[in-house]
Amino acid sequence: MRSSLILTLTSFSASIAAAASIQCSATNQTTACLCAPNQAKTTYPNKCQISEVFGYLADGNFTAFLSKVSPTVNWTIMGTHPLAGTYTNRTIFAIDALQRLSNTLQSTAGTTPLTLTQIIGGGDEEWSVQELHGLGTCKNGLKYDNRFAWITRWSTEGIILQVRAYLDSALVHRAITENESKEYLYSDQRDVLQAGPSGIGCTSN
């Protein structure tokens, strides 16, 4: 019985040691790795804190995510597609980019199919790079499988100040143009004012 107890304690100690020695790598970006206890204080958000911010997107909590974005953020969406351009206002970015793209996708019970897969930098570096994976289905049945790289500049308070976002332009173009409005036939009765894309807010006088 004593030998069994010693073996159990040895296994337990080994497990504790293994947990304490978890190392981040290109293939290990788990919470256990990124949010290991007793992390040193850094000037800018560390990988654990960055993963928490981007976790709001995975949960579909845009309000919480945007609370970590500066109201005067400089956010450039690269490429040639309807969302491309530089946004210098958080509200305009949220409505004309995030919400507009989200509205092309089928409902996923309050969540957005955007998950964080990799973080480079952060901590004592002002800039970090996040790789994200967007996976879902558009309202017209188009498979939405997109990879993003967001090059992000942080404040010392953990607020996003600047982003350069790279993505699959062709896929975003299809998602917007094929799902934002339907096609009409010459026989359709056009007697109701149609709302414009989210953010434009067309209304009658």
pLDDT at 128: 97
Are 116 and 54 in contact, with CB atoms under 8 Å apart?
yes
Across 62-78, b (16+ Cβ under 10 Å) vs e yields eeebbebbbeebbbbbe
Whether 193 is covered by a domain: the verdict is: no
How many domains does the chain divide into?
1
Query: What is the pTM assigned to this prediction?
Result: 0.75
pLDDT at 205: 38
Whether 186 is covered by a domain: the verdict is: no
For residue 65, the enclosing domain spans 43-179
Whether 20 is covered by a domain: the verdict is: no
CATH code assigned at 112: 3.10.450.50
Average pLDDT rounded to a whole number, residues 75-81? 93
Average pLDDT rounded to a whole number, residues 106-122? 78
Whether 146 is covered by a domain: the verdict is: yes
